[in-house]
Chains A and B, each alone.
Chain A
Amino acid sequence: MIRLPSGTYAQDYGQDAALVRTKANWAFLAIVIVFVFTIPQWASNSFLALSTVIGITIISAHGLNILTGNCGLVSLGHSGFMMVGGYALAILCAKGGLPFWLALPISGLMAGVVGIIFGLPSLRIKGFYLIMATVAAYFIIHWLVLQFRSLTGGTEGLRVPSPDLFGLSLKDRAHYFYFVMVLVVIATIVAKNILRTRAGRAFVAIRDNDLAAEVMGVNLFSYKLQAFFIGNVFAGIAGGLSVQYYLYANVEQFPFFDSVWLLGMLIVGGMGSVSGAIYGAIAIKLLQQLATKIGPPLADLVNPQAAVGLGLILPSLAIILFLIFAPRGISHIWERLRNYYQAWPF
């Protein structure tokens, strides 16, 4: 529900359906977009790299948010579906010679289809059992990728040619960053709008009470599979972007713990909220970056692996603290602050 400040009314359907309602919202959005799209002008290379990775992660988190936050189907295999997308893109580009603009959507669709296959048990099982099924999905995908060495390169991975878009080269890191950010904006709008369609409302009904939803005529099987498909298309595109960013596809790029961090992003950001997925992705990625920054000084103090250990401990602690003290995440804190400010004298 969008809470509007006092005095703002919808006077026609267009206003009622608009995503951004008030002038303050527009101003805020404009500042964020200007900030983001000028990053390559002033930021250092490492900050640019971090921002690109955060952008890719946001796209993936949007997918998991639709699947887990809105449809209530918890998936711990999201990183595996990113792997599907990444390898699909790598194979299509490197072996099939397809152009990047065509391979990227196809890799998204591939991940979606694989997601449907592993989503098939979701009608019979839910909760913890479904989590376990998605864990199994991750390890089976991981194994299959390593098995079909002739196609995927096995443990050595697969080199990918540098991307270009209709003759425009994206080899420059800054150009690739712009491309990723445009996709992030599109993904955010798509995610926000999917939740307002018939399917999106069905997802929420399934999350809140699947039996009640079924009694009211929501086709559980079809909508659960749709949620798996949509969520994993986002994952596949994010995986494809990640492979294209490193110009290299490798299973090490999609470790199992990434699925955990993606779920953690939803918890830190706020389950089921599109803006929450963005906040969560930024927060967790920054914490991991912090670990690599303060790890090396600690390495002399503790042991050489301190950065790796911290990279596990810091985000995990954030998830634990949010679960205990703010289970509805950053987006809820932000909403409360805004409401407090809007109703200030009272």
Chain B
Amino acid sequence: MTFFFQLFVTGLALGMMYALIAIGFVIIFKCSQAFNIAQGQIVMLGAYFGYTFLMPLRLPVWIAIIASIGVGVVMGLVIERLALRPLLGQPALAIVMMTIALAGVMDGIAIMGWGGNYVTYHDVLPELTLKLGAVSVPPSSLLGLIVSVIVVAILMFIFRYTKIGLAMRATAEDEQVTRSLGIKATMVYALVWVIACVVGVVGGVLLGGVSGVSPPLSEIGLKALAVVILGGLDSIGGAILAGVMLGILENLAAGYLDPLMPSGGGLAGVFPFIIMLAVLILKPHGLFGLKRIERV
């Protein structure tokens, strides 16, 4: 039973990481109908920036967090203005390709800038550990949990009670009508990208502090897409729930099924994709996604 719980808890940590990436994706999709495949790379770059701020520069943690928020804002503005704005009105494929290419550029930047090495900054962030009986909850799942709860609370508040949140929801519904009502859709898009990048970068700093950074962190971004599909493309709550579910299921599958596989298993790498394919075939809109009816 301890084995089960240990798998469960480490799965929870992984799931929180998935959820964090998935949230960024969902925010952007919700407001601009753009699919952002580069979200995993944003988290990875955030973690590398966290390393730079905390290790070579030796900034205090709080200043590092504020600096990384600044990085996120700049990153969001640059991406939106230079890459996505010129594509307004282009087919969805162009936008998907754009974010894939952005992912390539960001991977390249990580390799050029930090050598693509595995770096850690373990003991800089405050320690958080919790023991439940014989099972120790890893700090990453606690951090992930705290960050995602804060992020979701802030987002819920913005979406529900502020004017800009209303503008975002309206833009998500119908861009042309929103524009004719005098809301600057381009500003909404810029803001959405800034929010997604800030969430990604800050999350990356915290997660990098717990589990280290290396370019494969961006591959987790691909698996996080499975989370998004499972949770529904436009549901923030769905993203978190699906992230946790998939993280735990993946770990359980790896723990229990890998020994049964002919050569070693490695089921953890492929399990989210199997789930994703199943969801796509059986329930393409995910668990909580809005089902759009296509009209001619």
Flag if B108 contacts A313 (CB, 8 Å): yes
Q: How far apart are A225's CB and chain B's nearest CB, in angstroms?
A: 15
Flag if A128 contacts B105 (CB, 8 Å): no
A74-B93, A124-B284, A313-B109 known; A146+B35 contact, CB < 8 A: no
Size category of the A interface is 35 or more
List the one stretch of B110-118, B132-140, B176-184 in contact with chain A. B110-118
A105 contacts partner chain B, Cβ-Cβ < 8 Å: no
A324 contacts partner chain B, Cβ-Cβ < 8 Å: yes
Residues on the B chain within 8 Å of A312, using CB:
104-105, 107-108, 111
Residues on the B chain within 8 Å of A148, using CB:
262-263
A149 contacts partner chain B, Cβ-Cβ < 8 Å: yes
Q: What's the A-B contact tally at a CB cutoff of 8 Å?
A: 141
Q: Which of A89-138 contact B (CB under 8 A)?
A: 120-121, 124-125, 127-129, 131-133, 135-137
Q: Which of B258-296 contact A (CB under 8 A)?
A: 261-263, 266-267, 269-270, 273-274, 276-277, 280-281, 284, 294, 296
B23 contacts partner chain A, Cβ-Cβ < 8 Å: no
Flag if A327 contacts B104 (CB, 8 Å): no
Residues on the A chain within 8 Å of B261, using CB:
147
B124 contacts partner chain A, Cβ-Cβ < 8 Å: no
Residues on the B chain within 8 Å of A315, using CB:
104
Flag if A132 contacts B280 (CB, 8 Å): yes
B87 contacts partner chain A, Cβ-Cβ < 8 Å: yes
Residues on the A chain within 8 Å of B152, using CB:
none
Residue of B nearest to A125 (CB): B284
A312-B105, A316-B104 known; A303+B274 contact, CB < 8 A: no
Residues on the B chain within 8 Å of A311, using CB:
108
B164 contacts partner chain A, Cβ-Cβ < 8 Å: no
| 8 Å CB contact of A149 from B105, B263, B270, B280 | B263
Flag if A323 contacts B94 (CB, 8 Å): yes
Q: Which of A280-333 contact B (CB under 8 A)?
A: 302-306, 308-313, 315-317, 319-320, 323-324, 327
User: For the complex, what is the distance from the CA of A308 to the CA of B97, rounded to whole Å?
Assistant: 21
- Could you mark each residue 234-275 of chain B with 1 if its beta carbon is under 8 Å from any beta carbon of chain A, else 0? 000000000000000000000000000111001101100110
Flag if A304 contacts B277 (CB, 8 Å): no
User: For the complex, what is the distance from the CA of A269 to the CA of B263, rounded to whole Å?
Assistant: 42
A263 contacts partner chain B, Cβ-Cβ < 8 Å: yes
A124-B281, A125-B284, A143-B269 known; A132+B109 contact, CB < 8 A: no
User: For the complex, what is the distance from the CA of A131 to the CA of B97, rounded to whole Å?
Assistant: 11
A132-B225, A139-B270 known; A309+B96 contact, CB < 8 A: no
User: For the complex, what is the distance from the CA of A313 to the CA of B101, rounded to whole Å?
Assistant: 9
Flag if B276 contacts A136 (CB, 8 Å): yes
| 8 Å CB contact of B97 from A303, A309, A319 | A319
Flag if A129 contacts B263 (CB, 8 Å): no
| 8 Å CB contact of B101 from A76, A125, A319 | A319
| 8 Å CB contact of A140 from B35, B101, B274, B280 | B274
A267 contacts partner chain B, Cβ-Cβ < 8 Å: yes
The tally of residues in B whose CB lies under 8 Å from a CB in A reads: 46
Flag if B262 contacts A149 (CB, 8 Å): yes
A85 contacts partner chain B, Cβ-Cβ < 8 Å: no
Q: How far apart are A36's CB and chain B's nearest CB, in angstroms?
A: 29
Flag if B115 contacts A305 (CB, 8 Å): yes
Residue of B nearest to A307 (CB): B111
Flag if B111 contacts A309 (CB, 8 Å): yes
B155 contacts partner chain A, Cβ-Cβ < 8 Å: no
Flag if B112 contacts A306 (CB, 8 Å): yes
Q: How far apart are A151's CB and chain B's nearest CB, in angstroms?
A: 10
Most buried by B among A154, A257, A311, A319: A319
Flag if A132 contacts B276 (CB, 8 Å): yes
User: For the complex, what is the distance from the CA of A260 to the CA of B250, rounded to whole Å?
Assistant: 26
Q: Which of A232-270 contact B (CB under 8 A)?
A: 256-257, 260, 263-264, 267
A189 contacts partner chain B, Cβ-Cβ < 8 Å: no
Flag if A128 contacts B101 (CB, 8 Å): no
Flag if B96 contacts A74 (CB, 8 Å): yes
A129-B280, A303-B112 known; A143+B105 contact, CB < 8 A: no
| A–B complex contacts, Cβ < 8 Å, 7 sampled | A125-B281, A132-B229, A133-B276, A139-B222, A308-B108, A312-B105, A316-B103
Known: A257-B104, A316-B108. 18 other contacts (CB 8 A): A76-B100, A125-B284, A129-B284, A133-B276, A139-B270, A140-B274, A146-B266, A150-B262, A211-B294, A260-B101, A264-B101, A302-B112, A304-B115, A312-B107, A313-B108, A313-B112, A319-B101, A323-B97
Residues of chain A having any CB pair with chain B under 8 Å: 74, 76, 120-121, 124-125, 127-129, 131-133, 135-137, 139-140, 142-143, 146-150, 154, 211-212, 256-257, 260, 263-264, 267, 302-306, 308-313, 315-317, 319-320, 323-324, 327
Nearest first, the 8 closest Cβ-Cβ pairs linking A and B are A316-B104, A313-B108, A312-B108, A309-B111, A309-B112, A143-B270, A136-B273, A319-B101
